[in-house]
A and B are shown apart, each in its own frame.
Chain A
Amino acid sequence: MTTAVSGPPTTRAFRRTPAEQARQIAAEILKYASLVFAALCVIIPLLVFVFLSLKTNAKTNTTSPLSPPRSLDLHNYSVAFTQAKMTLAFTNTLIIMIFSISMTVIIGSMTAYAIDRFQFRGKRLVLGAFLVGSLVPTITTQVATFQVVKYFGLVGTLRAPIVLYLGTDIISIYIFLQFIRSIPISLDESARLEGASTFRIYRTIIFPLLRPAVATVVIIKAVAIYNDFYTPFLYLSGNPRLAVVSTALFTFKGPFGTQYNVLSAAALLIILPVLVLFLFLQKYIYNGFSNGAIK
C-alpha cells in the first residue's frame, strides 16, 4: 500500500462517500491554513525587522512597518557593526565556545566512560549526584555561584563563563552515557586482552565511536552559549572589552533605544550566522536536539 517504512501512511485503500470526501477536503484546508498561520506568526516579526533595518530613520517614522523599503540601504548595518563592536563580540563568543565545548566533550565522554565501563563502589552515588545536579536550576543558584566564581578571582574574565558552561553542564554527560551504552563491551574486552590500557581503550575505541554524541553535544552547547545572556551579563558586563554577542547587543539598547532601524540591523547581524548554519546543518541540528532530549 505505502512505500514508507516508518511514519504514517497517506493513501487510502478503500473508497469514501461524498460526505467523507468533503470532510477530508475541509480537514486538508484547515491543516494548510494552520500551517500558513504559524508560518506568518514566525515570519512577520522577523520580516518587519528586515524591512526596518533597510530603512532610514526618517522613513521608519513615516511608513507603515509592513511596507517594504524602496531601496536597499545598508547604512544601518555598518553603523551597527562598528558601534556594537561586533568583531570583538564575535571573537569573544568564539573563544568561549571553543574552550568550553572542547572541554565539555572531553570531560563528558570520560565521565560517561568511567561510569558505564567500570564497576566500583559508590557508582550509584556518583550517578545519583549527576542526576540530582541536573535538576538544580542553575539560574537560581547564581546568587551563591557568583561568590564561588568571585573567590576564584574569575569575575570579569572570559574564564568565568567558560568554567560555568563546563561545570554546570550535566546534560552532555547524559547524552554521552546514552550513546556509550550502545557500544558493545566486547570491543573493550578484546582490546584489554591485547594489553591496551584503559585510557588507550577510551582514546582509540570509545571516543571515535562516540562521534554522533559529540555532534549532538557540540550543537546543543553551541546554540546555548551563543544565545546565553544571563551568564555573560552577570560575570562580564563590567568590562566592555569582554562583550559577547548577547551583551554587545544588550548594551546597544541604551544609546539606540528607540532607533529601531539601527537596533534591528544589529539584531539581524547576530541572527544571520545562525540562520546560515541552520540552513546548511538542518538535519544535524534536528537530530542533535532530538537526541539531547532522550534521557
Chain B
Amino acid sequence: MVANFAQRVPRARWTNALRQPPKPAISWFRRFRRLTPWIYLVVPLGLLTTFVYYPCVRLFYYSFTDWDGLTPHPSFVGLYNYRQIFSNPQYFDVFKVSLYYIGGAAVQIVVALYFATILSFNVRFRNFWKGVIFFPYLINGVAIAFIFNFFFAPGGTLDSVLKVIGYHNQYNSNGRLLSHHLWLGDPHLVNVSLAGVSVWRYLGLNFVLFLGAVQSIPGNLYEAAELDGASRWHQFRYIIAPGIRPLIGLSVILAVAGALAVFEVPYIMLLGANGSTTFVIRTVQTAFTFHEFGQASALAVVLLLIVLAITWVQRLVVPDKEVDLT
C-alpha cells in the first residue's frame, strides 16, 4: 500500500518541492491560523443559521403552501396567501392599526427630544426627573397591561383623574362614575388608548438615548452660541439636532419597526378585541390558534420585507456619517 502510494506521486512535483525553500512548518502554522477564527465562529454562526436564517428560508417556503402545521407534505398554493393579505379585510385591516402606533411613535420621539434637551441644561432634581421618565421602560409588559387595564377601566384611574380636574360626568351617590368614555371598549378610541400605553412604556428609552447623545456634544459650543445671541430654540435647531441626527434616524426606524411588531400589551389587555388586533397578534392567532401556518408565514414574510425596506430607506436617507460640529 505504502509503496503504491509513493509511486503515485508525480515526479515533477518532487523536483519542484526540492527546488523551493523548505517551509512546511510555516505553512502548517498558517493553515492553522487561517482556521482559528472559524473555531471561534462555529457556534455563533451555527446559532445564527439555525435560529435566524433557516427559519427565514422556511418562512418563504411555507408562505406558498397551505400548511396546517401537521401534514408532512403541504400542497403548493402559489400566491394565494399573499393575495389573501391584500384583499381580505381580516388581514388588511391590521395595517391600519399600525398607523396609530406609528403616530404614537412620532409623538414619542418629539417628546423624548424635548425632555432630553431641557434635562441636558441645568434643572433642579435632574436625576429624579430622569429616573421617573425612564423607569416605565424597565417594567414588565404583563404588569403594564394590568396597570392600564385598570387605568382605562370604567371608573378607573383615568376617569377619576378627569373627575378631579373637573371633567364632569354623571356620578352615583358613592361618587363613582356612571357615564364615561369607554377607553378600551370603543373601537374608535381603543387604538389611541393603546398607542398611548406604548408611548408611556417606550418614551424613557428614547429619552435616555437622546440625553446621552446631547450630553456628548461639547459644552463650549453652547457658550459660543449664547455669546452670539442664539436662543434655546436656535441652539436646539443648529447644535443639538444636527449633532444627534444619526441617532434620531435610528430611533425613527426602530420606532416604525416596533409599531409594526406590537404584540404584548394589546394582546394581554384585550386579546386583540374591539379592533385592537395588530399585525403580530393576527399572525400569532392565524398560526397557533387557527393552525393556518401557510397564511401566517405569508403575513410574517410581508412584515419582514416591510421592515427590511424601511431599514434600507433609512440607510439611504440618513447616512451613518458622523456629523462634524466644529
Binding site for B on A (CB under 8 A): 1-2, 4-10, 12-13, 27, 31-32, 34-35, 38-39, 41-46, 48-49, 52, 62, 64-66, 107-108, 110-111, 113-115, 118, 120-121, 123, 126, 129-130, 133, 135-148, 163-164, 166-168, 170, 173, 198, 223, 226-230, 234, 245-246, 249-250, 253, 260, 263-264, 266-268, 270-271, 274-275, 278-279, 282, 285-286, 289-290, 293, 295
Residues of A contacting B164 with CB < 8 Å? Answer: 66
Contact of B264 among A65, A107, A129, A230 (CB under 8 A): A230
Residues of B contacting A138 with CB < 8 Å? Answer: 52
Please tell me if the beta carbons of B51 and A167 are within 8 angstroms of each other in the complex. Answer: yes
A213–B217 Cα gap in the complex (Å)?
A: 22
Please tell me if the beta carbons of B208 and A135 are within 8 angstroms of each other in the complex. Answer: no
A141–B161 Cα gap in the complex (Å)?
A: 41
Please tell me if the beta carbons of B303 and A137 are within 8 angstroms of each other in the complex. Answer: yes
Residues of A contacting B134 with CB < 8 Å? Answer: 286
Residues of A contacting B38 with CB < 8 Å? Answer: 114, 120
A282–B156 Cα gap in the complex (Å)?
A: 32
Residues of B contacting A52 with CB < 8 Å? Answer: 150
Residues of A contacting B284 with CB < 8 Å? Answer: 142, 234
Q: Is B84's beta carbon under 8 Å from chain A? A: no
Q: Is B205's beta carbon under 8 Å from chain A? A: yes
Stretch at the interface among B8-16, B39-47, B100-108: B39-47
Please tell me if the beta carbons of B150 and A49 are within 8 angstroms of each other in the complex. Answer: yes
Please tell me if the beta carbons of A110 and B40 are within 8 angstroms of each other in the complex. Answer: yes
A263–B143 Cα gap in the complex (Å)?
A: 9
Residues of B contacting A44 with CB < 8 Å? Answer: 157, 161
22 contacts between A and B (CB under 8 A): A8-B222, A27-B232, A39-B129, A42-B135, A107-B44, A114-B38, A114-B40, A115-B37, A133-B53, A139-B280, A140-B303, A141-B52, A170-B48, A226-B140, A227-B140, A229-B140, A229-B264, A253-B146, A260-B153, A267-B146, A271-B139, A295-B250
A52–B157 Cα gap in the complex (Å)?
A: 11
Interface Cβ pair total, 8 Å cutoff: 271
Please tell me if the beta carbons of B146 and A278 are within 8 angstroms of each other in the complex. Answer: no
Please tell me if the beta carbons of A135 and B307 are within 8 angstroms of each other in the complex. Answer: yes
Please tell me if the beta carbons of A65 and B47 are within 8 angstroms of each other in the complex. Answer: no
A120–B148 Cα gap in the complex (Å)?
A: 53
Residues of A contacting B140 with CB < 8 Å? Answer: 226-227, 229, 245-246, 249, 267, 270-271, 274
A118–B32 Cα gap in the complex (Å)?
A: 12
Report B205 CB to chain A, min CB distance, Å: 6
If A267-B146, A274-B139 touch, whether A141 touches B300 (CB-CB below 8 Å) is yes
Contact residues, B294-319 vs A (CB, 8 A):
296-297, 299-300, 303-304, 307-308, 311
A91–B222 Cα gap in the complex (Å)?
A: 50
Please tell me if the beta carbons of A12 and B226 are within 8 angstroms of each other in the complex. Answer: yes
Please tell me if the beta carbons of B304 and A6 are within 8 angstroms of each other in the complex. Answer: no
Q: Is B88's beta carbon under 8 Å from chain A? A: no
Contact of A6 among B118, B147, B200, B219 (CB under 8 A): B219
A34–B111 Cα gap in the complex (Å)?
A: 10
Residues of B contacting A148 with CB < 8 Å? Answer: 50-51, 54-55, 58
Closest Cβ neighbor of A152 among chain B residues: B50
A114–B44 Cα gap in the complex (Å)?
A: 11
Residues of B contacting A43 with CB < 8 Å? Answer: 132
| Secondary structure dominating the interface of B | helix
Contact of A140 among B133, B232, B280 (CB under 8 A): B280
Closest Cβ neighbor of A227 among chain B residues: B140
Residues of B contacting A135 with CB < 8 Å? Answer: 307-308, 311
If A44-B161, A110-B40 touch, whether A164 touches B51 (CB-CB below 8 Å) is yes
Contact of B208 among A64, A115, A250, A289 (CB under 8 A): A289
Residues of B contacting A147 with CB < 8 Å? Answer: 55, 58
Q: Is B123's beta carbon under 8 Å from chain A? A: yes
Contact residues, B56-114 vs A (CB, 8 A):
56, 58-59, 62, 111, 114
Please tell me if the beta carbons of B208 and A290 are within 8 angstroms of each other in the complex. Answer: yes
A265–B150 Cα gap in the complex (Å)?
A: 13
Please tell me if the beta carbons of A2 and B223 are within 8 angstroms of each other in the complex. Answer: yes
If A144-B55, A229-B141, A246-B140 touch, whether A289 touches B132 (CB-CB below 8 Å) is no
Please tell me if the beta carbons of A223 and B138 are within 8 angstroms of each other in the complex. Answer: yes
Contact of A246 among B43, B142, B261 (CB under 8 A): B142
Please tell me if the beta carbons of A144 and B58 are within 8 angstroms of each other in the complex. Answer: yes
Residues of A contacting B222 with CB < 8 Å? Answer: 8-9
Report A283 CB to chain B, min CB distance, Å: 10
If A44-B157, A168-B52, A293-B209 touch, whether A137 touches B283 (CB-CB below 8 Å) is no
Report A282 CB to chain B, min CB distance, Å: 6
Residues of B contacting A166 with CB < 8 Å? Answer: 47
Q: Is B235's beta carbon under 8 Å from chain A? A: yes
Contact of A13 among B34, B227, B293 (CB under 8 A): B227
* Residue in B161, B174, B205 whose Cβ sees the most chain A Cβ within 10 Å: B161
Contact of A111 among B40, B131, B300 (CB under 8 A): B40
Report A69 CB to chain B, min CB distance, Å: 15
